[in-house]
Amino acid sequence: MYLTTEIKKSIFKQYGGSEANTGSTEGQIALFTQRINHLTEHLKKNKNDKNTERSLVRLVGKRRSLLNYLKDSDIGKYRKLIEELELRK
């Protein structure tokens, strides 16, 4: 599988503060970004995979809502995370 436990732990350690802090907003956004990037690469190869396309759209929506929450609660963390993950907005 593309997303092993070690990769998840490293993502949460880097963005969430610790490996056990899986509920942090920053960690969740980073995990969603990792999954979105993987699904985007998959869709480049398999253009007619509509189920994956739907999953990708749902993930982008979830990430967007978490980003809006983070922006409203702490604009400094929001700007830092956007810069680290190289997101456009």
Distances (CA, A) of 56 to 2, 75, 88: 16, 26, 17
Residue 51, exposed/middle/buried by CB under 10 A (0-12, 13-18, 19+)? exposed
pLDDT in tens, 26-45: 999 999 999 999 999 999 99
Residue 21 to residue 16: CA distance in whole angstroms: 6
Residue 21: predicted pLDDT = 85
Where do we find the tokens 């983070």? 70
Domains and CATH numbers, the chain: 5-11+22-85 (1.10.287.10)
**Does the pLDDT at position 89 exceed 60?**
no
User: What is the rounded average pLDDT of the residues 66-79?
Assistant: 96
What is the model's pLDDT at position 18? 87
Read off the pLDDT of residues 12-29 as tens digits, 9 standing for 90 and up. Answer: 999 988 888 888 999 999
Kindly indicate the confidence band of residue 1, based on its pLDDT and cuts at 50, 70 and 90. low
